[in-house]
């Protein structure tokens, strides 16, 4: 009888542990921006500062250190590869030290992916741009951060939070 009671206590403890981890799956320390005009939402850290254009087609959020940012542009419909090519040309024109690392089609939610390095006055940066084409828009989600610390920023969490409405 004593062994049965011990098993129930262990089972109850395991259930509590599993439930508490499931409740914690919502991103603590994050806030969500929702754009009903062009149909998407995205979550980002609470301590990052956001800006949005009046027409809602550009959303920009930057870290408190200013060494990391995420930008979303919503443009007219075109193939994702064409949108990516235009982005690469714009980046290459704007930065003398622009280096294209990857430019490829993707499977899954995003249609196209571009990664690149560039230099700004404060040093080398790394960026990744993801493109999604729908019947009404092209969505470009672009991450940028200090090259040496790029992997320390919460870009995967931010990117995975992007949802179409």
103-146 tens-digit pLDDT: 999 999 999 999 999 998 888 999 999 999 999 999 999 999 99
The chain-wide mean pLDDT, for the chain, equals: 87
Supply the pLDDT for residue 37.
Answer: 94
59-114, pLDDT tens digit by residue? 999 999 889 999 999 999 999 999 999 999 998 887 778 999 999 999 999 999 99
Percentage of residues of the chain with pLDDT beyond 90:
75
In a domain, 35, yes or no: yes
Q: Determine the structural domain holding residue 110 and report its residue range.
A: 29-164
- The whole model's pTM is what? 0.81
Give the domain CATH number at 129.
3.40.1000.10
Task: Give me the residues paired with residue 124 across strands.
Answer: 119
Residue 83, SS3?
helix
* Structural domain includes residue 113: yes
Could you read off the pLDDT of 10-28 as tens digits, one per residue?
444 444 433 333 333 446 8
Res. 3 pLDDT band, cuts 50 70 90: low
**Does 57 have pLDDT greater than 80?**
yes
Residue 6 confidence (pLDDT):
56
pLDDT of residue 2: 57
Quick check: is 61 in a domain?
yes
Q: Show the beta-strand stretches assigned E in 49-156.
A: 49-52, 58-62, 68-75, 99-105, 112-120, 123-133, 138-146
- Does 7 map to a domain? no
Assigned domain for 23 exists? no
Q: Is residue 122 part of a domain?
A: yes
Backbone angles phi, psi at 13, to 5 degrees: -65, -40
Candidates 164, 112, 155; CA nearest to 135 is: 164
Largest CA distance in the chain: 77
In a domain, 13, yes or no: no
Number of domains in the chain: 1
103 is a domain residue: yes
Note the pLDDT of residue 5.
59
Task: Tell me which DSSP letter residue 106 carries.
Answer: -
For tokens 């409405």, name the residue: 165
Rounded CA separation 129/6 (Å): 53
């Amino acid at each position: 009888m004593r062994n049965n009671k011990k098993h129930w206590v262990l089972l109850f403890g395991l259930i509590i542990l599993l439930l508490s981890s499931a409740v914690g799956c919502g991103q603590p320390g994050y806030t969500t921006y929702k754009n009903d005009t062009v149909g998407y939402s995205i979550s980002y850290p609470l301590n990052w500062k956001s800006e949005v254009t009046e027409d809602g087609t550009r959303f920009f959020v930057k870290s408190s250190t200013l060494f990391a940012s995420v930008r979303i542009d919503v443009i007219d419909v075109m193939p994702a590869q064409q949108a990516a090519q235009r982005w690469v040309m714009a980046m290459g024109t704007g930065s003398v030290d622009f280096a294209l690392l990857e430019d490829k089609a993707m499977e899954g939610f995003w249609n196209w992916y571009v990664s690149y390095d560039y230099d700004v006055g404060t040093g080398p940066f790394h960026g990744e741009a993801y493109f999604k084409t729908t019947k009404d828009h092209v969505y470009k989600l672009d991450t940028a951060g200090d090259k040496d610390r790029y992997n320390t920023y919460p870009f995967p969490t931010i990117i995975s939070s992007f949802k179409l409405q």
